[in-house]
Amino acid sequence: MSDLAQPGVSAPPHDPRRAEVWHTAVICLLLIALYYLVPVEPGVTGLHRAVRAVITTVGVVLIAAMVLRQIRRQITADSSDVRLTRLAITLVGGVTAFALADLVISSSDPDQFVDLTTKTDALYFAIGTLTTIGYGDVHAQGQLARAAVCVQMVFSVGVLATGASLLVKRWTEQASRQAAPSRRR
């Protein structure tokens, strides 16, 4: 008989914060898995290329709107009522949306990017652009790619970086509040 089934022994308390973090991690991993599952075949021309460009643009705009909405909520919300997990999920969605946009451009015209041929290359490039590291091994070469990367850089600095810094700030505040009662004892 296990300890949990014995009379008088209660189950360990459920930690909703831990459950929420796990839930967020699972959703972020699912977003990345979905990114890898979206079909983006090279050599598409004509109507397929136009439809793909429209869908990619709409996706990036929707992600941008979601990130802005979450940042606005984080700024205006009472710090005790902040759901950081939504912001984290939205930020991962933003990175994967830009990676997908870069990949669509590259697969539609391979001369637009240097060495961007796989989904991992695109994700690597999107994260490198977001973090402003830019190793130079993968880079925009064509005018369309450079225009898309300019939008990505402005979005990254203006929105994603703000969201990420706000996320870290709120997590730090929450950790400090949680540690404060234990210091008073």
Per-residue pLDDT 10s for the chain (185 aa) are: 444 455 555 555 667 778 888 888 998 999 899 889 888 876 667 787 778 778 877 877 887 777 777 777 767 766 554 566 777 787 888 889 899 999 989 988 899 999 999 999 999 999 998 888 888 899 999 999 999 999 888 887 776 667 677 777 777 887 787 787 665 55
Residue 43 φ/ψ, nearest 5 degrees: 80, 10
Domains of the chain: 51-172 (1.10.287.70)
Residues 6+ apart with CB under 8 A from 172: none
Nearest alpha carbon to residue 115 among 94, 73, 145, 159: 145
Burial 58-80 (b: 16+ CB within 10 A, else e): ebbeebbebbbebbeebeeeeee
Q: What is the three-class DSSP state of 79?
A: helix
